[in-house]
Amino acid sequence: MYFKLSLMAAAAFAASAQAASKPAPTGRQLNQTTWAYVEDGRALRMSIDADGNYVEETLSGKVTGHGTAVMKGAKDCFTPAMSKDGEHCWTSKRLKIGQSMLSVSDKGERLKVTRIKYIPMKMQG
């Protein structure tokens, strides 16, 4: 269930994102962004670093997922490292810090995400 959260959050977080180090012509950016969302009643946040790696964690700092993120056209796609489910893509648009959007996955899942100030995260251990 947390994997689903990670994917949805990642997709939603990637909503204004880009996996390349340079912003796309649309101004969307994925790398070095952080996103907040609530899934199944649990408050989570996800950060995507400069290399397109993401870490999802609870607000207390417990890592719940990680993997890679890339932009593909108007979608942000996430491939979790903790699951064999493969890539999951979500609708995306440019957002500024403090703005929110409803992101929809290729499977029809919906998640409201909010872009927040970038917080570098690392895997525990």
Question: CB atoms < 10 A from the CB of 48, how many?
Answer: 30
Each residue's pLDDT tens digit, 36-92: 999 889 999 999 999 999 999 999 999 999 999 999 988 999 999 988 889 999 999
Domain range spanning residue 92? 2-116
- Domains of the chain: total: 1
Residue 124 falls inside a structural domain: no
Residue 46 falls inside a structural domain: yes
Residue 15 falls inside a structural domain: yes
Nearest to 10 by CA among 64, 62, 61: 64
Residue 125 falls inside a structural domain: no
Residue 70 falls inside a structural domain: yes
Residue 121 falls inside a structural domain: no
Each residue's pLDDT tens digit, 10-23: 444 544 443 334 44
CATH number at residue 102: 2.40.128.640
Rounded-to-integer distance, Cα 20 and Cα 11, Å: 16
Contact 15, 76 (CB under 8 A): yes
Residue 121 predicted with pLDDT over 90: no
